[in-house]
Structure 1
């Protein structure tokens, strides 16, 4: 049974269309923020319920995971409630002084509702942490130190994100794993770095949370000089802007909210999965039965009506009841991956 269910007032019950209308009618701005902390929570369910109540009162939206090992949050907060939000977060001893990463590009519509869930882990990694020290993490580098380290001869840079994230943006000369999940990525990264245990390793991800686990994982496997970008790409973008530092990131940063990305540089490093033109815009297939995440340019979006294949384009013109029947009991496609030979110009 869902531990978050059955609690009056503790779950958002509005539909997507209602939520969109509510957000569009707002006369104030929202600030998109992410934060995480690895800290032992004695009772994750109680913490979940408390945070939900506090953030609901402040009209916050977001997707938050709470586990015994800590918290992982991506949310937006009304600007007029920002100080109250920070005060509430810091009032919990477990979250005192947790660093916030503020979004670079923000239209205030990153999340439509507030969802706080209890999970086994705040990031699914498939690891048994009883076998190694998860607190033995790498050295944290700020943006200036990171840029300097990138120029060191023999340095190995690794993108600790999924392939669809790094496809639209990454640091120069980084190793880009082809994994679709963090669970799959860890062994792939270990394999990519085989024989490089004596090298200076630089790790980066969206906000830093995946690098925490990966750096400890690599040190456990014999890597000595492990470093990670403090605050991830999100805070790197803030630092280079405020400190007027050179930008070594190419393209867009994928984010896990309705924006699906924020520009870090003006360069477009990816291509439309249907026509091959330069494009960095992720969309979900308009056919709800499919819902495939893929890159689609505006021209192809118009031509294919937001769908990924001719078959999906046919389906969206069927009566809604027929579409619902097609969706029943079927597993949705998740993410486009060129290495799996999915042909978006025809059929799989």
Structure 2
């Protein structure tokens, strides 16, 4: 019984090119009480591998979080499979605004302690006791209310390239960092303010809505389907777009443009830019914002030091990386001191 990938990303990319078939990039999540995540994980892998589904999926006792690439010809089969699982029947599927047949090149289904790491250890907290879901039209009305506080539940490198007008954008590296900060900032407004939250696809602000209800906030709302669904609804319903810039996404595309605004800068020269890249030095792999001019000048690297390393023979580069794990500092996502215009904490 196969429960792991047998093909490399390069081999999979070649097969996708040869097939020439359209694929849909989509995401979904659902908070639920799963008794045996490992067994559920294996069930998903076997079924989806057979459908040629690719993606990154996390399963935990609190639910499932999935970002996927599904062949168009297998979409109905995939949807029927989901509907056959009681807690996933009619689950909302967020179809990507911009499609890319190579958004995912492997099927990874992993069991985690939680589908959204929150750092909480509170048995009385019920993640399914969520806030009020609102659609794009209601959301637009709510955020114009002077008694509303709009909060971005994403990390700094996400909100840096795009966010809603007048949103509070906590300067944090992780979701767990934002919970205490927001609660402390709004502790005197638990009853008189409407707390409205949003994130990429809804999964983080749904957990946050349940958390802040647990902490005593009376009027808690979340943008259903997140920025992805908001963009779809404003296009379909011809609503005013209150989002500026790009929506950061966690696949090879790294971003979907929602408006023509460019609200961030190249981390190397400071010119307007909202294109995220990873440093070409595999031992670094830093995620940062780089314009085309700097990419050419710096050979797709974040620093001259990394440029010099990429010029070394491959075997020598491997030796330099040997025994060195990827520490959290590598993935500080734009906070590196190597970058002149980095996003500082």
Q: Same fold (TM over 0.5)?
A: yes
Contact 2:57 2:108 in 1 (8 A): yes
Contact 2:162 2:247 in 1 (8 A): yes
Contact 1:310 1:345 in 2 (8 A): no
* Structure 1 CA distance for aligned equivalents of residues 270 and 18 of structure 2: 38
Q: Per-residue displacement from partner, 1:101-143 (whole Å, max 9, x unpaired)?
A: 1111112221111111111111111112413333332111100
Q: Deviation of residue 40 (structure 1)?
A: 1.2
The residue aligned with 1:216 is 210
2:42 matched to 1:49?
yes
The residue aligned with 1:3 is none
The residue aligned with 2:331 is 334
* Structure 1 CA distance for aligned equivalents of residues 271 and 186 of structure 2: 33
How many residue pairs end up in the alignment?
338
2:184 matched to 1:177?
no
* Structure 1 CA distance for aligned equivalents of residues 189 and 297 of structure 2: 47
Q: Deviation of residue 83 (structure 1)?
A: 0.6
2:241 matched to 1:247?
yes
* Structure 1 CA distance for aligned equivalents of residues 178 and 10 of structure 2: 36
Q: Deviation of residue 26 (structure 1)?
A: 2.7
2:154 matched to 1:157?
no
RMSD of Structure 2 on Structure 1 (CA):
1.6
Contact 1:62 1:75 in 2 (8 A): yes
Contact 2:287 2:334 in 1 (8 A): no
Contact 1:44 1:118 in 2 (8 A): yes
The residue aligned with 2:123 is 130
Contact 1:156 1:200 in 2 (8 A): yes
* Structure 2 CA distance for aligned equivalents of residues 113 and 252 of structure 1: 25
Q: Which runs of 5+ in 2 are unaligned?
A: none
The residue aligned with 2:183 is 190
The residue aligned with 1:75 is 68
2:62 matched to 1:62?
no
2:20 matched to 1:27?
yes
* Structure 2 CA distance for aligned equivalents of residues 241 and 346 of structure 1: 34
Contact 1:162 1:179 in 2 (8 A): yes
Out of 65, 86, 90, the residue aligned to residue 97 of structure 1 is 90
Contact 2:289 2:334 in 1 (8 A): no
* Structure 1 CA distance for aligned equivalents of residues 94 and 333 of structure 2: 29
* Structure 2 CA distance for aligned equivalents of residues 278 and 195 of structure 1: 38
Q: Deviation of residue 345 (structure 1)?
A: 4.8
SS at match of 2:333: coil
2:229 matched to 1:235?
yes
Q: Which runs of 5+ in 1 are unaligned?
A: 1-7
The residue aligned with 1:324 is 318
* Structure 1 CA distance for aligned equivalents of residues 124 and 210 of structure 2: 12
Contact 1:41 1:94 in 2 (8 A): no
The residue aligned with 1:4 is none
The residue aligned with 1:294 is 288
Q: Cα 1:17–1:29, aligned 2, differ >3 Å: closer, same or farther?
A: same
Q: Per-residue displacement from partner, 1:8-45 (whole Å, max 9, x unpaired)?
A: 52111322322222222231111111001111112211
Runs of 4+ in 1 over 3 A off after TM superposition: none
Contact 2:8 2:106 in 1 (8 A): no
Q: For structure 1, which segment, 229-238 or 107-116, has the greater mean C-alpha deviation from structure 2 after superposition?
A: 107-116
Q: Deviation of residue 346 (structure 1)?
A: 11
Contact 1:190 1:218 in 2 (8 A): yes
Q: Deviation of residue 330 (structure 1)?
A: 2.3
Contact 2:62 2:114 in 1 (8 A): yes
Q: Deviation of residue 187 (structure 1)?
A: 1.5
Contact 1:159 1:205 in 2 (8 A): yes
